[in-house]
Amino acid sequence: MTERDIEESLPDKEKNLSEWYSMVLEKAEIVDIRYGVKGFIVYMPYGMEIMKNIIRLFESELEKTGHRPVLFPVVIPESNLRKEEEHVKGFAGQVFWITHAGYSKLEEKLALRPTSETAMYPIYSLWIKSYKDLPLKAYQTVAVYRYETKATRPLLRGREFLWIEAHNVFRSREEAYKQTLEDADIFKRVSYEKLGIPFIHVKREEFDKFPGAEDTFAFDTLMPDGRVLQIGTTHYLGTKFSKVFDIKFHDVDGKYRYGHQTCYGIGLSRILASLIMIHGDSYGMVLPFDIAPLQIIIIPIPKTGYDLNKIFEYCDDIQRELIDKGYKVKVDKSEKTPGEKYYYYDMRGIPIRIEVGPFEVDNRRVTLFRRDLRMRVTIPREDLFNKIERLRVDITENLRRKAEDKIKNTIKYVSNLDELKKYSEEGFSIFKVHFCGNEECAERIKNETGGFEVRGSGVSEDGFNGECIMCGKETSKIVYLAKAY
């Protein structure tokens, strides 16, 4: 199998992202879509190994900031779900209901968890009695279920998806709001720094908030087709839920007060999809070093007339050395040709390949291939560890830099719809515009621009006076517009 055969085995990602993505999911063995129930997928071993590594990164950061793991039941009594009117209205059309157990009809319907506020908060009211019980910071890593009526798409939009949700309670509004900033920092440390996925941090508009929230903040990333994907959110809930579920505490002054709450959703399935689509190329996936289930693959290169066992022994020595250093390493001694092996591991995004043939053995050398840049270099064996340590950092930095440049270069401020249409034809796909905050204007913008949605105003970004791009009303509010998944 030649390099050209490999390159042509996938569609052009820039021209046909949908087909490219579907083929990578299949060929790299990430998920299997043949489960037989629409919107439900099977995570295959390799896909689940990547997912578990992503989960570990987020869980580690959550626990560093005082969050503790919990696990609540997947079923929620209908009476709980309906307690917060605004909340249930937001999810009413998406709930999976359990009405029977065996041959018996249940006295009360049970909802499969669409999100866990109404599952967790009745218990929180039992756990919290005094200000000494606060803050309460807990998270769970679970699957949630929503009857998605739009077209489903593996990892991007499904009826069962994985996420991490953190639900916190504080004494004051100030403490709770501080938590939403900490949530953003956690997201930056993992999504941006470890996974190389840049994002726009926005505050959603009043008409686009999480059902029941006082304020919603979201993390949108840019996909290769110019659309944005929401990969996480954090919400300040105020005391709306604590009043409904009686989450109150005895304060230092002897008075009872309701807790101020936040909830934080980390979209694991969508983050995996973003990772694949943003970093991938015409050879398949490209994985950041720290989340790759296999970080280094060693490929023996046989030569007629040369003792293959000498090559194998050299490969085994390298493997032992690198495993001792803490790396995830494998030697592929199968009978496949080197080209077939290159194809297999390139498709799966293995960050580093070590090629070992007679030249390397006889000269105590190793040939390194870095997956992100598709570059080879031959170095002395004694330099191997230091080189890999440098690549470990450089590969992720390179992926992050490329993705960040892409998102920065596609953002454009425009003052009217004609400019928006002009620059969208030139390749810009995210726009900053003045916006009055009116939902009717947002709907008109979407209808008159072919689907550009108001995503929200940039957190910590300063505005300046201008006219709403739709109605002309003077405003200092500047929002992002983009087409979204």
- Rounded Cα distance, 307 and 4, in Å: 30
Q: Which amino acid is at 279?
A: H
Element (H, E) at 346: helix 338-347
| Residues 212-237 pLDDT 10s | 999 999 999 999 999 999 999 999 99
- CATH code: domain 16-279 is 3.30.930.10
Decide if pLDDT at 421 tops 80: yes
Is the fold of 294-391 the same as that of 411-482? no
Pairing of strands 453-458, 200-203: antiparallel
Q: Quick one: pLDDT band at residue 1, thresholds 50, 70, 90?
A: very low
Cβ-contact 280, 13 below 8 angstroms:
yes
Element (H, E) at 24: helix 17-27
Cβ-contact 197, 300 below 8 angstroms:
no
Residue 230, beta-bridge partner list: 220
- Rounded Cα distance, 183 and 244, in Å: 25
The closest of 107, 60, 462, 6 to 290, measured between CA atoms, is: 60
Determine the distance from the C-alpha atom of residue 123 to the mean position of all C-alpha atoms in its chain, rounded to a whole number. 29
**For the chain, what are the domain ranges?**
16-279, 294-391, 411-482
| Residues 233-262 pLDDT 10s | 999 999 999 999 999 999 999 999 999 999
Residue 434, beta-bridge partner list: 478
Say which CATH architecture domain 411-482 belongs to. 2-Layer Sandwich (3.30)
Over residues 422-447, mean pLDDT: 96
Determine the distance from the C-alpha atom of residue 151 to the mean position of all C-alpha atoms in its chain, rounded to a whole number. 20
| Residues 79-108 pLDDT 10s | 998 887 777 777 778 899 999 999 999 999
Share of the chain above pLDDT 90, in %: 93
- CATH code: domain 294-391 is 3.40.50.800
The closest of 265, 294, 231, 218 to 53, measured between CA atoms, is: 294
